[in-house]
Amino acid sequence: MKKKKTLLVSWIMTLAYLVYIVYYMSTYSAGDSNEQVGAAIAFALMLPHLFLTFLALIFNVLGWAMNKRGFALTGAILYSVAMFLFIPYFFFIVTQTVLSYVGFAKMPKKIASAAV
């Protein structure tokens, strides 16, 4: 079975995004106490978005590696929900969301054989 390139690109982009966010948040937590409080509040607001993006990454990788439509669809749906949980950063994962839905749509459907 051929693996879908759209799912591969999607999870690579998501991995790069999560590495970027972790690095970005770690640079702001190194300042004075006011900056640390602000960074803690920002991180608390972003945490649901980051958690769902990480879960979407896991399902996206599983869908790509195992060629399972259900995992690919679950990852795409989690990307969609994560996009709306922190709207200021939706543009960071809108491409991955579209690629995941396209990858899911292009995956072959398993046809169950009729039992005799």
**Token duo for residue 53:** 């993006």
35 alpha carbon, distance to own chain's centre? 28
List Cβ neighbours of 95 (8 Å cut-off, separation of 6 or more). Answer: 10, 13
For the record, the structure tokens of 93 come out as 């994962």
Per-residue pLDDT of the chain (116 residues; tens, 9 = 90+): 577 899 999 999 999 999 999 888 877 666 678 878 888 888 899 999 999 999 999 999 999 999 999 999 999 999 999 999 999 989 999 999 999 999 999 988 876 555 55
Q: Which residue has the tokens 């709207």?
A: 87
Q: Is the pTM of this model over 0.75?
A: yes
